[in-house]
Amino acid sequence: MHYAIAFMPKRIWVEMHDDDDLACDVIVEMEDGGYYSALFVTLAYLRRQMALSYDVGLQIPYTPAVRYAAMETPQILVDSLDHDTIEDAIDNLIALDTFETFFARVIEEEDDRDGRIRTAEVAAVVLNEVLRAEETTVA
């Protein structure tokens, strides 16, 4: 595979959601110093979201209870959230030139482009404050 040096991952951080191991936030630092973030989920996560929608429908009068999951942000669906799977998925997204479709670049200034851009301050909080984050240095 031939990537541009800017799109060579340098480090990857994985922040698991709760204790369920069904979803995680992933931050990638590229060789050029850019940071990108994305949400990785499993089928079990989507099933849980569908069950929650159904339960909410049961609680609201005159609302049909239906199982569905409405995706507000791009999510990368994987079989498991182990580091090898996440790293392989990132490599494939880069090789297929679709990485920036699913990963939002963390930038210094606000940008209204489709609401997916996050500020550097948000990334700093995720990287510095999340105790459960795991870091992987890509060889």
Is 45 a member of any domain? no
pTM to 2 decimal places: 0.74
Distance from C-alpha of 50 to C-alpha of 34, rounded to nearest angstrom: 35
19 pLDDT higher than 60: yes
99 pLDDT higher than 90: yes
Is 119 a member of any domain? no
50 pLDDT higher than 50: yes
Is 19 a member of any domain? yes
Is 100 a member of any domain? yes
Is 93 a member of any domain? yes
> In whole angstroms, how far apart are CA 66 and each of 41, 44, 49, 54, 57?
21, 17, 11, 5, 7
User: Contact 38/76 with Cβ under 8 angstroms?
Assistant: yes
Q: Which domain holds residue 33?
A: 5-39+72-107
Dihedral sign for Cα atoms in the order 69, 74, 76, 82: negative
Q: What is the mean pLDDT of the segment spanning 38-52?
A: 95
Distance from C-alpha of 21 to C-alpha of 119, rounded to nearest angstrom: 26
Dihedral sign for Cα atoms in the order 120, 122, 125, 131: negative
The SS3 of residue 29 is strand
Confidence grade of residue 122 (pLDDT, cut at 50, 70, 90): low
User: Which of 28-32, 85-89, 98-102, 104-108 shows the lowest mean pLDDT across its residues?
Assistant: 104-108
Side chain identity at residue 51, one-letter code? A
Which range has highest mean pLDDT (7-21, 77-91, 124-138)? 77-91
Domain count, the chain: 1
User: Contact 33/11 with Cβ under 8 angstroms?
Assistant: no
